[in-house]
Amino acid sequence: MNGIFIGLGSNLAAPIKQVLMAIKALHALPETKLIKQSSLYASPPMGPQDQPDYINAVVELTSQLSASELLDQLQTIEQQQGRVKLRHWGERTLDLDILVYGDQEINDERLTIPHPGLTERAFVLYPLAEITPDLIIPKLGNVASLVQNCPRAGLNRINLDLL
Ligand code: ROI
């Protein structure tokens, strides 16, 4: 079975720290194991350009939590890290999105999985391809092919050893 993949993004309040703290919090979730984490990436904003660049990453989990229970946990982490979101498609302290949840396709009030923006978002696809190039996403296909059709759009892998 496919794993569960979470996208992380931040462009406010020390974004690298936000993403690293969120990965720690994901490590500590109940009934959940963190299997893999991507590098951190810096990316220009998709959306209004008058906002700071983002830091993005993707992690793989396995979990006994349902997608909806997991979403509750992600929203708690966002709140604990003082999430602010200033405007639609604007700057935010921390965003945690369920990108893929195993083989499930979900379309309800709270969740659309696989995540609808995934195929156009270099800041999601490149980190995803780094940790799981062979993943086949329900309805969308193979990650390695998706990434080949998605321009990098200024995305840069961050070497934390140099910071
Ligand atoms: N742009 C980038 N580069 N990274 C993000 O995580 C991100 N998240 C968003 C929007 C506002 C769409 N733009 C983004 O939610």
Q: What pLDDT, in 10s, does the model give residues 100-131? A: 999 999 999 999 999 989 999 999 999 999 99
Whose CA is closest to 153, among 68, 27, 42? 42
104 CA to centre of ligand 1 in angstroms: 24
- pTM of model > 0.75: yes
Task: For tokens 């369920």, name the residue.
Answer: 98
Instruction: Check which CATH number belongs to the domain holding 39 and give it.
Output: 3.30.70.560
Domain that holds residue 69: 4-162
Whose CA is closest to 118, among 34, 58, 30, 72? 58
57 CA to centre of ligand 1 in angstroms: 12
Calpha distance 109→103 (Å, rounded)? 19
- C-beta of 43 in contact with ligand 1 (< 6 A): yes
Q: Quote the number of domains for the chain.
A: 1
Nearest ligand 1 atom, CA 9? 6
pLDDT, tens only, 30-72? 999 999 999 999 999 999 999 999 999 999 999 999 999 999 9
